[in-house]
Structure 1
């Protein structure tokens, strides 16, 4: 389920997150100069994947997430961000529901390459 928002309007992250009943969801909030700003709702774990041509930035709005990389795990709490470099295999997971802003090129396949 993805809802696209245009420019020149207020986007209420809390309302979008509160109305989402899925454990894993991805909403495109805005397109900015060839990049997408997305809101992710994370609960549980996503599959291992990579993006061959694009970097991916994660910023935790609420909750906590873990980004598993080969040989290490990055733990992010609310107010923290991290960029996964293109071509790096990773998976995201959250023990409890988390809301995350993501910034990535508009060419990225959200499920990985």
Structure 2
């Protein structure tokens, strides 16, 4: 898996797929996705990146010590387990997980979401 994060059963592509001034068509990318857990960096905006994820199933518990993480559901349903509660996101809803917050994301059905995070963030956690 080049441009992937090794050691986890997720297809994670950290390369920036679209340069500035390019039209980004998330639907074409997500409709053609054959992975159960896929993450692709779409573009870079200043010091942050926008990533699309097409997921079904569970991600491992992790935290990002120095970075906040924003999740926005396009289709499906995302559950974000925190130590004290579960946040449920439906389409067109978003949520920020603050830095250094232990969290666990899961999707009981195929879910497409966008994430905004620091360009240097390690998706699998620090």
Q: TM-score, normalised by structure 2?
A: 0.87
Residue 44 (1) aligns with residue 54 (2)? no
Residue 97 (1) aligns with residue 110 (2)? yes
Residue 23 of structure 1: aligned partner: 36
CA distances 1:47-103 after superposition (whole Å, capped 9, x unpaired)? 000000000000000111100000210000000000000000001100000000000
Residue 85 (1) aligns with residue 98 (2)? yes
Greater alpha carbon shift after TM alignment, 74-83 vs 10-19: 10-19
Residue 14 (1) aligns with residue 31 (2)? no
| Structure 2 gap ranges (5+) | 1-10
Shift of 1:20: 0.8
Distance 1:78 1:37 in 2: 17
How many positions carry a matched residue from both structures?
113
| Structure 1 gap ranges (5+) | none
Distance 1:65 1:77 in 2: 7
Higher share in strand: 1
Distance 2:81 2:18 in 1: 30
Distance 1:33 1:19 in 2: 28
Moved beyond 4 Å, runs of 4+: none
Residue 54 (1) aligns with residue 67 (2)? yes
Q: TM-score, normalised by structure 1?
A: 0.97
